[in-house]
Structure 1
Amino acid sequence: MIDPLDIVIAEDDFIQRSYLTQVLKHLGYNVLPAEDGKGALDLLKSSKAQILITDLQMPEMNGIELTRAVREAELGHYVHIIMLTGGSHKKASEDALEAGVDDFMTKGDDPTRLKARIRVASRLARHAWDQAEQHRILKEANDRIQKDMKAAADAQRQLLPDIRRSMQGISIASVFEPSAVVSGDMFGCLSLTENKLGVYAVDVSGHGIHASLLSVAIGHLITPEFFTNTAFDASGAPDPAALVANLNTRFSAADNDDYFTMFCAVIDTDTGHMEYCQAGYPSPTYVASDGTARLVGEGGFPVGMFDHFTYDNDAMTFDEGDVLVLCSDAATEAETPQGEPFGKDRLNALVGENHLTDICKIPEIIAEQLHTWREGHALEDDLTVLALRRKQTQ
């Protein structure tokens, strides 16, 4: 804050105005005198004055009108207002307080009392200025953080697969809704060989920047080359559990509590054989062409909690025309305002009812139903919906 303080005086009486000016200058303040309320308001707008001493009765704009104008003006800082009165003005004092006056002084008060009041006002004004300055600094810092988070969110979205895409006879669609600007979710569909498709979904524990950084790191790591090198055994057979174990070794070695759930699969797009490993990620919904829906997998253990944990593969056949839908736990855990979760059964039924719908619409339908279930309230966790349909060859 600039020293010394600027003080505006609004007083139509020349003698009183001159007296106050001399007293305040003697105390070391910069004094900006005005002979009416309008002039005082102009001085407040053109300066950084923190204190206003105003007479109650003035032509054109009286002290109460001036106070209201100051409180309505966007000055960028608080102005401590002291009103001068000529004696007992109970009704005027009530109106002045309602308008925003902070303190009162009686004209002709002892100079010692005047100086004490000014010093108190000065301390309050300095405190208000310091608070405003801290708020400005915090706002600037927050604006920078929000800008950086938006850039991080944009970078994260660029890592995600196309929402409408077809790869090796598999139609793919997705919905991605972070609960904050950035998300701890990551997923991908990667072409590994001419007839092998890699699919994965990750949900990092926690929310916000930290979870997002880890999910982005995982997304950068899981390239087609990494997938091919780690998700097949020496004979060339699919082994997604080996990929999950590789990630577990990498991330459990870190000296922190980070962990994530994962679903990882290798699909033979010629035969429909799917080898998969579930590591704590919610069981996907598989819907046969007749509309029968069932859950895939039995849960498994998250990645990054314990080193040398053994992960296993499971297998199934992804038949032509069938649909596989992966959802992060935001789907089943979404609650109504009354606390009722959406649940696995309701999600399975929803996917089953819409299995013949255009694959691009299935994730959108799920997201819309979740928002309806929440009655318009935002989801409390990051939502990922990844839908795949194996096309029919005939």
Structure 2
Amino acid sequence: MRTVTVVGASLSGLYAARELRAQGFDGRLVIVGDEPHRPYDRPPLSKDFLTGRADEDQLALTDAEETGELDAEWLLGTRARGLDARGRTVLLDGGRTVSTDGVVIATGARARRLPGDDLAGVHTLRTLDDARALRTELTRGSRQVVVIGGGFIGAETASSCAALGHTVTVVEAAPLPLVPQLGAEMAAVCAALHRRGGVDLITGTGVAGLRGTVAVTAVELSDGRTLPADIVIVGIGATPNTGWLAGSTLALHDGVLCDDGCVTSLPQVVAVGDVARVGGARAEHWTSATEQPRVAVANLLAGHTTRTVRSLPYFWSDQYGARIQFAGRRQDGDTVRITEGELTDGTPPEDGFLALYERNGRTTAVLSMDRPRPFMRARRELTRGESEARQEPAAL
């Protein structure tokens, strides 16, 4: 390959560029990004950046020295508009094109929106520009904040708003937040953090609409209640950025469909990060975005799938002064056993806890709150157990 184009100046896009150079690619490297910013770290946007404990320069993932070492052409503030059927030309804004031998798709995902969310005071939190706008509003005195969605972004943002002294309510349509990730029992424990942080949590009801003419004034719930609001933060998930690939031959279904090695239906095109559905699953987590590029680039340079992604799913979340860490593959029906700490009426203790998910005598996942060292030990054991299970001969 003489030219490789990375579409998406994201965390996964940057890691792919690094891997290309590390794995010996010395040709032309083009990095296309629709934002004007060089790659930055997104997790702090809902936490330290929002509360003012971190500035923009602390979010940067590259410096001048690394930029020089990558020897890449950066096309920032430039949106990709299409990929030709053979995957050899990337179409850009304004009719420009990049002829290429290989493509890494790293276009990530965009925040889902609600009808009427064009009112002033309504925010999503996905990009640096989103975080800038929200941080500015949060500095204008005490406000009534309604967070729609109790997932990780919603919970972290609610925590930050509460820390800044605002009155915060979280609205979650499901009976509990985070049930798909943690299961009902542990989701209830984590939901208690909202109460501990002085935040109201309303569950089991959706949002019927937003009130306001120019600026938002209230949130109407599907059960008839109305919540006054100066600021509304919509955290109802994300949609993979695949619209620009319409008309290409790539298979698209809630992301770019890839095999277990991040390779698409075109061997010269791979996908990584939030936009990639690898082996049937799409993972919107920092670890996936940083681990997938090594495998994807190896397969891209080889011209076919030689390696597969085998990392254990892992994510973390910082909420109300507590760090939640989870690793593994939980399934419905797994039992949960608390091995460290004590839960009182489902309330997490101040010093945290460690829980193991188990099925048929095997540990399938591990969850901790403020127990980082025991968690890391359990995570290592879980990884070792998965590796041994893969090596066991299949039953006759």
Tell me which interval the TM-score lies in, with the shorter structure as reference length. Answer: under 0.3
Whichever of the two has the greater Rg, that structure is: 1
Q: Which has the higher helix share?
A: 1
Q: Which structure would you say has the larger RCO, counting Cα contacts within 8 Å and 6 or more residues apart?
A: 2
Give the TM-score, by structure 2 length: 0.26
TM-score, normalized by length of structure 1?
0.26
